[in-house]
Structure 1
């Protein structure tokens, strides 16, 4: 992997807006195809009654491609050298005792095996893993030009699986999807719909019934410092769990693929170990509820372009992922809450600089003007264009938010109320 922070010289960034890319920078997380999802997907209002078209047949040579990820704030990272493999020598002491016959050593080979207690304590990592693992799958996506692996969460008993779009992108065009359950059984799956701008997709396991389903938690209720567990298939090691804490909330993280697609998430940051292959898998609380979908890592890389977890992982909040997945299943497309403005990168501007305001849009109705700099949304500090876009998307349609705005020319500050719409 490469570091996520230097600018990607191959990108030609368009002028910033509510939906486009800002300063894409490089880091590999997992391989995927570069084709964008098809918009010609079935429409179905139900979560559990989708009959998908068969996935195209044929397999493809494994040719991995890179995805770039970017953080709103650049951090200075050191390169780290490779760790040489070596042997670890352990020294153990054996306790000897004497029996009545005077013979000697205690030998555990001669003793009965101890039986492990199987009733895990509620809220323990063991209990959470036992609860969540059956509802998590490993995903293999094969196209003519690429092969990728990732993870997914089963969200309906008849086989809908929520995952990252970059895990399955391209399979709708002559690709093959296979999923592996926690018990080792495998099935083929069909691509339902995906969205590059949110990096969320839905697939459906064929002929599935009575599958275990993951429970959604409320990602608005999580707190920095609370314990969490990441579940997935890092480096192809299926049914892997790692634990950590929520390190931070509301991290605007932008990711862009080599095909030009870009996604922006208002991420949950965690130090639970996340590595390539965890993409699309769940981040759960210690009650086993899905609070996020693991999507991006920051990585210190070496000259060989490889890297792993350094305790900086990012997950899409569950409430947002649930809303997008519902839209993908019901309509095959995603709509985002918007305030009807275009944003610009302003020199020495601490906030989101408004470049233009859409006529008749919610921003215009609220009195926003070109040259305004948004510094807060409700109580949340806005320090960049990406931060405002991510914050707006984390709210819902029809919701009214309060923006703190400074006019660049006069330095006068005011508060405006904006009602979010889909247009």
Structure 2
């Protein structure tokens, strides 16, 4: 599966045996004394600790150190039969910022989504509850068939309760959708974070239902930002996102689920995975997943709820999608558009928008959509037949 593909829908054994210890036999001293190298000394120390650990059960205790402080140590258990001893429990509340703490806070606001035609499952995905009365943020490609009236939606809450749901609206160009769970109230809702403040390398958690396995939690980092990713949506249409790249495991079924920071705030919606698979089937995670930034998804969701459709800021240019490197080639400028008013011409090549390099036409479109309506952006533009660049300020279309 290529980067144009996205998640949709997909032992352990142990034994023990008592071993009688052989009698101890003292080793014969070597004829010539030799020193141990560092590697051998480490191996010997490791072997000693393993042998010691196998000799008896151990429990944690404390001893006084030379400075009279308390230190944790390991001591032998005070029972002859570990099977008859009570189970030791040291369960403590998860510290804030831990994955366990994030999971416990986020899972109640994450749902599994199933799309059926009455006899079979058409697609499966995930979603985030964004209103207490049951509105859910998810991907267009998860629920698109419900929008045509040819399929039914069902949502499973984190507590296992299953409810019918209705389609509100979706946008194929951005792959954002909103649905409504029926017959619910006072649901827990996810909290939005600010995706504009993300940093490469920060820890994140992905939550969803990969391969139908609900309430699955995976961890990773923000691998990169501002990745222009185009995904086929069927019927010759495609979506384009200015994606957050993450190595958190995302698989078919994670689509529409949240990517959250270590405060449990939604900073992205998992939507696309890259795969090395060359077959027509869907592949699994190879550590290249992409999420729609939360600020963008939130804006589109509000439009879908309030207006039933989504609109994006625009310059008023057409770009040549065959130009895949070295900037975005402008193939046409709409008369009277912001681009026309700013002086952009057919044949100009945009190589930078604000401080962000533009390497392709998709990068320019994705970057433009990520700005606010009416915002002024600064373009570095190379004129046709010239290697020189000039600065052009464009005020994007307003709402």
TM-score by length of 1: 0.76
Equivalent residue for 2:85, pick from 111, 121, 125: 111
Q: Aligned equivalents of 2:134 and 2:330: distance in 1?
A: 44
Q: Does 1:96 align with 2:56?
A: yes
User: Alpha-carbon deviation of 1:247?
Assistant: 0.1
1:156 matched residue in structure 2: 131
1:122 matched residue in structure 2: 96
User: Alpha-carbon deviation of 1:304?
Assistant: 7.7
Q: Aligned equivalents of 2:288 and 2:325: distance in 1?
A: 27
**Partners of 2:296 and 2:370 within 8 A in 1:** yes
User: Alpha-carbon deviation of 1:87?
Assistant: 7.2
Q: Does 1:220 align with 2:203?
A: no
**Partners of 2:221 and 2:247 within 8 A in 1:** yes
User: Alpha-carbon deviation of 1:392?
Assistant: 0.2
Deviates more, 1:302-311 or 1:180-189: 302-311
User: Alpha-carbon deviation of 1:106?
Assistant: 4.7
SS in structure 2 at match of 1:170? helix
Q: Aligned equivalents of 1:281 and 1:227: distance in 2?
A: 17
Q: Which has the larger radius of gyration?
A: 2
Q: Aligned equivalents of 2:247 and 2:325: distance in 1?
A: 31
SS in structure 2 at match of 1:169? helix
Q: Does 1:30 align with 2:37?
A: no
Unpaired runs of 5+ residues, structure 1, are 6-24, 32-63, 65-84, 98-103
Q: Aligned equivalents of 2:168 and 2:324: distance in 1?
A: 44
Q: Aligned equivalents of 1:394 and 1:420: distance in 2?
A: 11
SS in structure 1 at match of 2:55? coil
2:152 matched residue in structure 1: 176
- Note the 1:246-395 alignment, pairs <5 A: 246-301=222-277, 305-345=281-321, 350-395=326-371
1:234 matched residue in structure 2: 210
**Partners of 1:229 and 1:286 within 8 A in 2:** yes
User: Alpha-carbon deviation of 1:410?
Assistant: 2.7
1:70 matched residue in structure 2: none
Equivalent residue for 2:114, pick from 113, 116, 140: 140
Change beyond 3 A, Cα 1:347–1:333:
closer
Deviates more, 1:148-157 or 1:341-350: 341-350
Q: Aligned equivalents of 2:228 and 2:361: distance in 1?
A: 10
Q: Aligned equivalents of 1:115 and 1:88: distance in 2?
A: 22
**Partners of 1:244 and 1:270 within 8 A in 2:** yes
Per-residue deviation, residues 200-239 of structure 1 (Å, max 9, x unmatched) = 0000111211100000000000100000000000111100
User: Alpha-carbon deviation of 1:312?
Assistant: 0.2
Q: Aligned equivalents of 1:126 and 1:117: distance in 2?
A: 12
Q: Aligned equivalents of 1:115 and 1:225: distance in 2?
A: 35
**Partners of 1:95 and 1:106 within 8 A in 2:** no
When you count helix as a share of all residues, which structure comes out higher? 2
CA RMSD of aligned residues (A): 2.4
Change beyond 3 A, Cα 1:254–1:303:
closer
Per-residue deviation, residues 289-326 of structure 1 (Å, max 9, x unmatched) = 00000000001226583521000000000000000000
Q: Aligned equivalents of 1:299 and 1:396: distance in 2?
A: 32
User: Alpha-carbon deviation of 1:346?
Assistant: 5.7
1:8 matched residue in structure 2: none
Query: How many residue pairs end up in the alignment?
Result: 343
SS in structure 1 at match of 2:164? strand
Per-residue deviation, residues 91-121 of structure 1 (Å, max 9, x unmatched) = 9964338xxxxxx995432111223424110
Q: Which has the higher contact order (CA 8 A, sep 6+)?
A: 1
Per-residue deviation, residues 16-67 of structure 1 (Å, max 9, x unmatched) = xxxxxxxxx5x36325xxxxxxxxxxxxxxxxxxxxxxxxxxxxxxxx9xxx
Q: Aligned equivalents of 1:236 and 1:292: distance in 2?
A: 21
Q: Aligned equivalents of 2:323 and 2:273: distance in 1?
A: 28
Q: Aligned equivalents of 2:82 and 2:202: distance in 1?
A: 41
TM-score by length of 2: 0.81
**Partners of 1:372 and 1:405 within 8 A in 2:** yes
